[in-house]
Structure 1
């Protein structure tokens, strides 16, 4: 155990082996690959936990996206079963991923895959949720990564798992720490749920106006558009006309993306020269597709940064605040809006709008979220088919300025609230992720952390 923490009075360092349940098989590695291969998967049955159910981002458990084995097969693999409060660790691939089976889960039991490790703890010594928070904290994730025993694929084994260190105070203190961190999680979860609802509201308006053309169709039938005031209804056309994308409202245009925005592509400095890259968030934010997958509507931060010298030397495009970014390689169609200036790698396009652009960022985001990217592919693999030329030619439906203005007025409060919630969530995540290490170091006292919870 190598941590620079002098533990508070009454706390002690213990390993997983010292606090595991006393029964045989409390800590195990998943079954040999051939025991649980694809040929045993069924449509419904007992779910198999894989890497996609765990996370590096302090998400306790992703309770979906399973493959299944039959009840009979699960009984054959019963020593690999996992139940509520079991801790889970990725053994191969993205090591450092940690999860815990929730008490209220979709299933009573699971089977772990051959790339997972399971730890079942003695609950008279350690609260499993407290332990989960420790093992998923940034210092421990980095510690686990350093235990890599693989040569080509990152690996940790059962020996590594059993030797992982855990600071153990009394159960009463563990419960307090768990509840404090859980309060942060509840607020984070609420913000994410609220943002999902707000985005659905914005997308519903966009779909009605600019995909289904409901106001135009209502007027064509001599009806008042539902839920719309007369002044707004009056600016919509009364007929649909043919275009390259099919029927669109009269007077609207279909323009290639490069006629709507200045479309640029990101860049990656030479990977063999590590001096151009940084882990310091004071350097230049450099967004990847993986970052976009975690970001939500707004891209706030990245997992890796570029030095200012590398941005200048390799002419990496700096993207302005409030600019749409779109992934078009490997994973096609992830969309986000920048918050502050940033850069991206070469798999991401930027749609920079001029002051007199025919669309807004909020409109363009909504449009791209509903765009059928499969329509761009000319091969069986959309990820290989789409290139920068196709992205620049991507067709955009452009409404009249009056209708665009009405849409922006309607959805701006929704987008603003989503951004505000995302920023608050990011701040809460930083507090939560660093709270336990700060408790250990004495930088924050338990009473002070309880006051933090009352303030959120």
Structure 2
């Protein structure tokens, strides 16, 4: 640990409280608004030039965020106003190793006081080593982010194909006009009707209820209290209405499934439901419907629910709910089986790649979280860490 110095954190960086920005004063723009829990929207102006490091000080305490571009830190956060010639991305990783909860309420006021954080004594490496450490950890985070973007692009491709085939009927319109459908081989084009019926749908296609196409496994769900989850702490994801809420040591499901928010967070501003594409061992609580298709794939189901407006099927003024009865009544376009199977064969391949990307990202995340404290303490030298990272990238 040659060249490492033990100093007060406030001698190495300076933290400052973020700025108020009520919803009523937010204007449409491109600059990210960062709160204690992360990205909270965008605004037409910024307060801080990037790169920047933000820490949650109130509400969600101790979450650390790195922002490359100009941003607006909200008053529920602290941000580094002066890096004092230290490397910004290293400072981001370093702050992630602090126990922020020790500062919470330390001054008798809810939340983290920057003066308490400034007094913390820490070991800091010289600038050259800061850059090397940040490069190693950053390579992992950059790959994780690239995987996320690629997976998001594949999901959007699947949704776009669904809209083209089953919402806009592009191949059918093309064939009805005597044209070859765009971006489609002749064999695939021949699967589609070349005319519309009196109901305005492609000939042979009809509207049914999505309940006719679903297997629903809600009876297998089991909610766990926070105390129960603490006792069952493990590595298996515990899903709520919109996301993973915790990790436990047992599972209720072990297959490819689609989760659909049932109550609480049910509907997005667009009217679309919240969906989660999952696979492998999982525990699901009673706030998400657990679904599988009878004759259609999980990716097909996800594409359908990602474009359908469920606002007419949600009940409740205070606590919104999409009950199972209403879920089953949502209209679903039943195309010919041969077209459904063709769509499934295409998007299933894309979703298999999405799975592999997310599984790789989980491996990279585990490695990053293992390396982080060891590099920051000086226990692990940068050269060895580089070798470990190169093995997985």
Q: Same fold (TM over 0.5)?
A: yes
In the alignment, structure 1 residue 321 sits paired with structure 2 residue 255: yes
1:18 aligns with one of 11, 16, 33: 11
In the alignment, structure 1 residue 65 sits paired with structure 2 residue 65: no
- Measured in 2, the distance between the counterparts of 1:48 and 1:322 equals 34
Q: Flag structure 1 segments of 5+ consecutive residues without an equivalent.
A: 1-7, 21-25, 56-61, 75-80, 292-301, 312-317
2:58 aligns with one of 72, 92, 116: 92
Alignment deviations for residues 403-434 of structure 1 (CA, whole Å, 9 cap, x no partner): 12211222232111111111111111221222
Quote how far apart the aligned CAs of 1:42 are.
5.6
- Measured in 1, the distance between the counterparts of 2:188 and 2:128 equals 60
The residue that corresponds to 2:348 in the other structure is 412
The residue that corresponds to 1:29 in the other structure is 17
The residue that corresponds to 1:263 in the other structure is 216
The residue that corresponds to 2:270 in the other structure is none
- Report the number of matched residues: 384
- Measured in 1, the distance between the counterparts of 2:120 and 2:163 equals 51
The residue that corresponds to 1:335 in the other structure is 275
The residue that corresponds to 1:298 in the other structure is none
Quote how far apart the aligned CAs of 1:385 are.
5.0
SS for the counterpart of 2:256 is coil
2:329 aligns with one of 390, 393, 396: 393
The residue that corresponds to 1:233 in the other structure is 189
The residue that corresponds to 1:358 in the other structure is 295
Alignment deviations for residues 73-95 of structure 1 (CA, whole Å, 9 cap, x no partner): x9xxxxxx533344322221111
- Measured in 2, the distance between the counterparts of 1:397 and 1:218 equals 19
1:286 aligns with one of 238, 244, 261: 238
Q: Flag structure 2 segments of 5+ consecutive residues without an equivalent.
A: 267-272
Alignment deviations for residues 260-295 of structure 1 (CA, whole Å, 9 cap, x no partner): 122233431345xx135457334x43112452xxxx
Determine if contact 1:95/1:154 at 8 Å carries over to the other structure.
Answer: no
Residues 218/111 of structure 1: CA separation in 2 closer, same or farther (3 Å cut): closer
Residues 196/270 of structure 1: CA separation in 2 closer, same or farther (3 Å cut): closer
- Measured in 2, the distance between the counterparts of 1:49 and 1:215 equals 42
Determine if contact 2:206/2:335 at 8 Å carries over to the other structure.
Answer: yes
Residues 202/30 of structure 1: CA separation in 2 closer, same or farther (3 Å cut): closer
SS for the counterpart of 2:132 is helix
SS for the counterpart of 1:262 is strand
- Measured in 1, the distance between the counterparts of 2:203 and 2:225 equals 49
The residue that corresponds to 2:269 in the other structure is none
- Measured in 1, the distance between the counterparts of 2:354 and 2:180 equals 31
SS for the counterpart of 1:286 is strand
RMSD of aligned Cα (Å): 3.2
Which deviates further from its counterpart, 147-156 or 362-371? 147-156
In the alignment, structure 1 residue 218 sits paired with structure 2 residue 167: no
Alignment deviations for residues 282-310 of structure 1 (CA, whole Å, 9 cap, x no partner): 4x43112452xxxxxxxxxx4413454xx
The residue that corresponds to 1:133 in the other structure is 93
- Measured in 2, the distance between the counterparts of 1:305 and 1:45 equals 36
In the alignment, structure 1 residue 118 sits paired with structure 2 residue 79: yes
TM-score (norm 2): 0.85
Residues 162/279 of structure 1: CA separation in 2 closer, same or farther (3 Å cut): farther
1:445 aligns with one of 351, 365, 381: 381
The residue that corresponds to 1:51 in the other structure is 35
1:174 aligns with one of 130, 153, 156: 130
